[in-house]
């Protein structure tokens, strides 16, 4: 069994990576910080260390996403589980060198492109899974498909995060709908409100709320449980495309169910990423 995971260098992804390592024969650790990745690999047993391949990837730099997928494809013909975990909330509007709003690129576009290029090796596995780490924040989304990069609209840190977390669920549903017949299973999840590096740089109302929530947050070990459950467990095929919380399927917002929205998101993502597809 082979696993690839983004964002394994901190928080939820780090715990998921460490706890999943003994259950897989080969693991692609996809990260942007090689020294952090190497320190993490050193915490594993000598036996598990041999299974790990570091793959450089900055999800906000699409060229590196394409070469990351390429390197994985050169090393394996099959991939059983892809965990799209990396992400975060951005306080201010920043535009990547490719021209995308940073949160959109880090949380959605990078993973869209990575999954697209890994699809041949995923579909070559017997029961492949794509697991997308979303958030309950998706319920606050207010999507404007005509201005996804905030060219004309005022940037709002929390709403832009809520939008991309909604995209994670729409993307999941689209994957199950369009690749389910080929054997692909896709799941989205909310990890809980987890004490990690997430949100540490934020100020304003969200920053105050996040600091106040600190004492009530769960640990990264607790927060990683649903990701680990989905990666390890055989899930009923009827649950393909579902959104999970506390290792159980739950109903996401009505927008998250919208076929019109997931089709539009797919179309817009392909349009923005045309150069790298
Ligand atoms: N914490 C929560 O309460 C909470 C709630 C709901 C959903 N989530 C979601 O859970 C996921 C994991 O977050 P976390 O709480 O574990 O946060 P975290 O501790 O900040 O970890 C985020 C991970 O994503 C990586 N990352 C960020 N931007 C990247 C980029 N451009 N390219 C490659 N890797 C990048 C980080 O790498 P570096 O180590 O290099 O920074 C880190 O490994 C995120 O998708 C987040 O939206 C978190």
pTM confidence score: 0.97
pLDDT of residue 207: 84
Question: Is the Cβ–Cβ distance between 34 and 112 less than 8 Å?
Answer: no
Low pLDDT (below 70) residues in the chain: none
- Asked if residue 233 has its Cβ within 6 Å of ligand 1, the reply is no
> Please, what is the Cα angle at 244 between 243 and 250, to 5 degrees?
75
pLDDT of residue 85: 98
Report which of 1, 118, 128 is spatially closest to residue 57, judged by C-alpha positions: 118
pLDDT in tens, 103-119: 999 999 999 999 999 99
**Strands 129-133 and 26-31, sheet pairing:** unpaired
Q: Which helix (H) or strand (E) is 116 found in, with range? A: helix 110-123
- Asked if residue 106 has its Cβ within 6 Å of ligand 1, the reply is yes
- Asked if residue 188 has its Cβ within 6 Å of ligand 1, the reply is no
Q: Which helix (H) or strand (E) is 221 found in, with range? A: helix 220-223
Which tokens sit at 61?
């730099």
Question: Is the Cβ–Cβ distance between 111 and 188 less than 8 Å?
Answer: no
pLDDT of residue 184: 98
Catalytic residue, candidates 161, 187, 242, 243: 161
Residues 6+ apart with CB under 8 A from 128: 79, 80, 81, 82, 122, 183, 184, 185
Which tokens sit at 126?
């017997």
- Asked if residue 58 has its Cβ within 6 Å of ligand 1, the reply is yes
How many C-beta atoms lie closer than 10 Å to residue 183's C-beta? 14
Residues 6+ apart with CB under 8 A from 267: none
Question: Is the Cβ–Cβ distance between 166 and 138 less than 8 Å?
Answer: yes
- Asked if residue 87 has its Cβ within 6 Å of ligand 1, the reply is yes
CA of 214 to the centre of ligand 1 (A): 17
Query: Judging by beta carbons within 10 Å of its beta carbon (0-12, 13-18, 19+), is residue 150 exposed, middle or buried?
Result: middle
User: Which domains does the chain possess?
Assistant: 2-276 (3.40.50.720)
Our answer to whether residue 161 is catalytic in this structure is yes
Radius of gyration of the chain measured on its C-alpha atoms: 17
pLDDT of residue 212: 86
Mutate to test the pocket of ligand 1, among 4, 17, 62, 86 (most ligand atoms within 8 A of CB): 86
Q: Dump strand ranges (E) for 65-164.
A: 81-84, 129-133
Rounded distance between C-alpha atoms, residue 125 and residue 112, angstroms: 19
Mutate to test the pocket of ligand 1, among 5, 6, 7 (most ligand atoms within 8 A of CB): 7
Q: Dump strand ranges (E) for the chain.
A: 2-6, 26-31, 52-56, 81-84, 129-133, 185-190, 243-245, 248-250
Residues constituting the chain: 277
């Amino acid at each position: 069994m082979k696993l690839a995971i983004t964002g394994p260098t901190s928080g939820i992804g780090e715990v998921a990576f460490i706890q999943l390592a003994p259950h897989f024969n080969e693991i692609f650790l996809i990260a942007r910080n090689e020294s952090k990745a190497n320190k993490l690999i050193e915490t594993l047993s000598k036996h598990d260390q041999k299974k790990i391949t570091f793959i450089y990837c900055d999800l906000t730099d699409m060229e590196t996403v394409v070469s990351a997928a390429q390197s994985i494809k050169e090393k394996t013909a099959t991939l059983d589980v892809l965990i799209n975990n990396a992400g975060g909330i951005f306080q201010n509007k920043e535009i990547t060198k490719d021209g995308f709003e940073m949160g959109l690129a880090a949380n959605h576009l990078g993973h869209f492109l990575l999954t697209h290029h890994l699809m041949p090796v995923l579909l070559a596995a017997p029961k492949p899974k794509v697991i997308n780490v979303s958030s309950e924040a998706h319920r606050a989304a207010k999507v404007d498909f005509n201005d996804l990069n905030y060219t004309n609209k005022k940037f709002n840190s929390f709403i832009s995060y809520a939008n991309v977390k909604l995209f994670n669920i729409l993307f999941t549903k689209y994957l199950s709908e369009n690749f389910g017949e080929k054997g692909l299973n896709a799941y989205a999840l909310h990890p809980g409100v987890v004490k990690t590096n997430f949100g540490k740089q934020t100020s304003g109302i969200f920053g105050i709320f996040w600091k106040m929530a600190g004492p009530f947050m769960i640990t990264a070990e607790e927060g990683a449980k649903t990701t680990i459950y989905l990666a390890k467990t055989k899930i009923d095929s009827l649950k393909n495309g579902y959104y999970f919380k506390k290792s159980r399927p739950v109903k996401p917002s009505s927008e998250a169910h919208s076929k019109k929205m997931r089709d539009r998101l797919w179309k817009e993502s392909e349009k923005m990423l045309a150069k790298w597809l």
